[in-house]
Structure 1
């Protein structure tokens, strides 16, 4: 059996819940959220670690906004608009956090809720 057939057989044997796109997205949100929590968990965390965690969160939300802006996106238009609006909030609030004028709690809470919604939507 060649490599493509082997790969197909291996992926075909996976539990459907493990390869569901919503579940994969939820796992990404969870990973980024854990990194944010860890970066802000203690007062002695480095500014570089905090900036890195915020940057990764911004990148995630930029990708989400781009996906929502795509005309081929199957989500309802009002949900797409809401997610794009959240991405804008994440961008603005991240800048405020970087300046030391706010904490990351709203970003963490938003990510948790989105991950939870994606998990509930997974088949």
Structure 2
């Protein structure tokens, strides 16, 4: 079932979302300061490409991860989180779109706290 969900996900916007995260990573990597944030965007991009059957575990990020998460949240993380929350709500309006809305809610968590998050 996860395979079918991922194929439908790719056809109806998953590729676009993954490309958007990847492009955000490229833009962040242009500056030296943005490289750690860009790397997180690349990780999230691969997760967004094939999300069904995977879970996010917000875990140990230490002091450095805490500082990076705070910077991430203040500078651009809240935009990613809000975008995924709104998209998730729109998908959840229909019964057919609920599984896709749930995936966007997972991405909203990553939009808030990407450092230290593990994707299984």
The TM-score range, normalised by the shorter chain, is 0.3 to 0.5
What is the TM-score of this pair, normalised by structure 2? Answer: 0.37
Name the structure with the higher strand share.
2
More relative contact order, 1 or 2 (CA 8 Å, 6+ apart) = 1
Larger radius of gyration: 1
